Amino acid sequence: MATVELKQLKKVYNRKVEAVKGIDLTVHDGEFLVLLGPSGCGKTTTMRMIAGLEEITEGEVLIDGVSVGHLPPRKRNVSMIFQNYAIWPHMTVFDNIAYALKIKKMEKSEINTRVKEVAELSGIESLLDRYPDQLSGGQQQRVAVARAIAVQPLVFLMDEPLSNLDAKLRVQMRTDLKEIHRSTGATTVFVTHDQSEAMSLADRIVIMKDGAIIQIGTPDEVYHNSANRFVADFIGTPPTNFLSVLVGDKEEEGYRLKGDHLDFTANHPSLAGFEGKTVLLGVRPENIDVLPEAPIEAICRLIEPQGSHNIILAQIGEQRMKLSVSPDIGLKIDQTFRLRLKSGHYHFFDPETGERLDK
């Protein structure tokens, strides 16, 4: 496979709209890297510049150390899988997969062998004689994957390839793509706005916003150590809860924190210098315990059953937060209950910049 390097990569439309703002990024050999972010953040534009489908305004794209910015897409040795599959409707599955191999003037016997190998890897070996209109959406997507694998490119590029599938098929295809990646060891760049998809597939996630990279890390790193409020709010379902707290003077056990119906102590060195100021406390829904003797009083405003757990919308004074709890707790709407934050399982953020304080 190959490495992909982006050096100060920039895309400007109409001489004024900066879609990608001079990003630097390295995709390691054999890595499954996911570009994640909301619509308009520049992730698809970045991928299209790697593929050669979008002209680079400034900067470089290197594949295995070779600058490819001047090369047309067909000479970059990359395969791209699109959101709408882009398979030929008048060709059988076999011919769709074999098409690029025929263009390369590969021997017929080798084409037959290659097509059968990738069809088996993609789980469509029994569909080779069918036409696309005889296939489900998931099967069509597998054809697109098999076609991409068949040409043995240096890099796979996938632009939201699962977004047209129903929820159950999306989950199944995540598993299939993960297994295919493990089998091929292919360097892969995958674009999505679905954070669950990113968390389940990625070796590393690149979180983008407004054309810039906000954070790069493993799924665990971006989830448990979000660099700023944007990441903490974007990653996770439900996302991080944010509560305003006033930092008091340091006491023997730490800093005294007070908020609306909140009063507790936290031993966080990052709070030094914020005495007398308000900061944002961020806590994940699963890091809140419901206990009879807990220090914080709350009211249950809404219950969202999820089967294995319930999502509780709790009100603490004028602030609201979501908890992930066992259904066995048995809370009722409008019931008063008590909760506590798990010690050490929360972070503090600057309310003005949004940056996490305890980095």
CATH of the domain at 213: 3.40.50.300
Whether the per-residue pLDDT at 253 is higher than 90: the answer is no
End position of a domain, from candidates 234, 262, 283? 234
259 and 187 co-located in one domain:
no
So what's the pLDDT on residue 193?
Answer: 93
Does residue 356 form part of some domain?
Answer: no
Name the nearest CA neighbour of 296 among 265, 262, 324: 262
Looking at residue 156, its pLDDT comes to 94
pLDDT band for position 266 (cuts 50, 70, 90): confident
Q: 140 with 285, same domain?
A: no
Q: Could you please report the per-residue DSSP string of 11-40?
A: EEETTTEEEEEEEEEEEPTT-EEEEE-STT
Given a cut of 90, whether residue 241 has pLDDT beyond it is: yes
Given 209, 234, 259, the domain boundary residue is 234
Are 17 and 201 spatial neighbours (Cβ–Cβ below 8 Å)?
A: no
In the chain, the amino acid numbered 206 is V
Is 70 a domain residue?
Answer: yes
Residues 129 and 166 in one domain: yes
Q: Are residues 177 and 325 in the same domain?
A: no
The answer on 220 and 81 residing in a single domain is: yes
Question: What is the model's pLDDT at position 109?
Answer: 93
pTM listed for this prediction: 0.91
Question: Where is average pLDDT lowest: 76-80, 263-267, 333-337?
Answer: 263-267
In a domain, 198, yes or no: yes
Q: In the chain, count of helices (H) and strands (E)?
A: 8, 20
Examine residue 182 and state whether it is found in any structural domain, yes or no: yes
Question: Domain check: are 123 and 159 in the same one?
Answer: yes
**Tokens (6 digits) for 333:** 């709407």
Span 138-167, average pLDDT: 90
Mean pLDDT calculated for residue range 202-208? 98
Tracing tokens 């040409």 back to the chain, one arrives at 151
Q: How confident is the model at residue 83 (pLDDT cuts 50, 70, 90)?
A: confident
Backbone angles phi, psi at 212, to 5 degrees: -125, 155
DSSP string, 97-114: HHHHHHHTT--HHHHHHH
- In a domain, residue 149? The reply is yes
- Output the pLDDT for position 290: 95
Residues 61 and 113 in one domain: yes
Instruction: Please compute the mean of the pLDDT values over residues 50-59 and round it to a whole number.
Output: 96
- Mean pLDDT lowest among 25-39, 55-69, 254-268: 254-268
Amino acid identity for residue 307 in this structure: G
pLDDT band (50, 70, 90) for residue 103:
confident
Residue 198 and residue 171 in contact, taking contact as beta carbons nearer than 8 Å: no
Structural domain that includes position 315? 241-349
Tokens 């001489």, located at residue: 15
Instruction: State the amino acid at position 161 in one-letter form.
Output: P
Tell me what pLDDT residue 344 has.
81
One domain, residues 166 and 286: no
Residue 323, judged by CB atoms within 10 A of its CB (0-12, 13-18, 19+), counts as: buried
Give the Cα separation of 292 and 22 in Å (integer): 53
Is residue 267 very low, low, confident or very high in pLDDT (cuts 50, 70, 90)? Answer: confident
pLDDT, position 163: 86
pLDDT at 359 over 80: no
Cβ pair 314, 320 in contact under 8 A: yes
How many angstroms separate the Cα of 83 from the Cα of each of 47, 203, 292, 315?
13, 21, 50, 40
Gap between the Cα atoms of 199 and 195, Å rounded: 6
The answer, yes or no, to whether residue 85 has pLDDT greater than 80, is no
Distance in angstroms (rounded) separating the CA atoms of residues 335 and 257 = 26
Q: Based on the structure, what is the number of domains in the chain?
A: 2
Is the same domain home to 160 and 291?
Answer: no
Of the three residues 202, 234, 266, the one that is the final residue of a domain is 234
Q: What confidence category does residue 117 fall into, taking pLDDT thresholds of 50, 70 and 90? A: very high
Residues 209 and 263 in one domain: no
pLDDT exceeds cutoff 90 at 165: no
Residues 196 and 288 in one domain: no
DSSP codes of every residue in 51-80: HTSS--SEEEEEETTEE-TTS-GGGTTEEE
Does residue 357 lie in a domain region?
Answer: no
302, 333 in Cβ contact below 8 A?
yes
Q: Are 148 and 253 in a shared domain?
A: no
d(CA 333, CA 346): 26
**Average pLDDT of the chain, as a whole number:** 93
**What CATH number is given to the structural domain containing 257?**
2.40.50.140
Q: What is the mean pLDDT of residues 148-159?
A: 92
Mean pLDDT of 193-203: 94
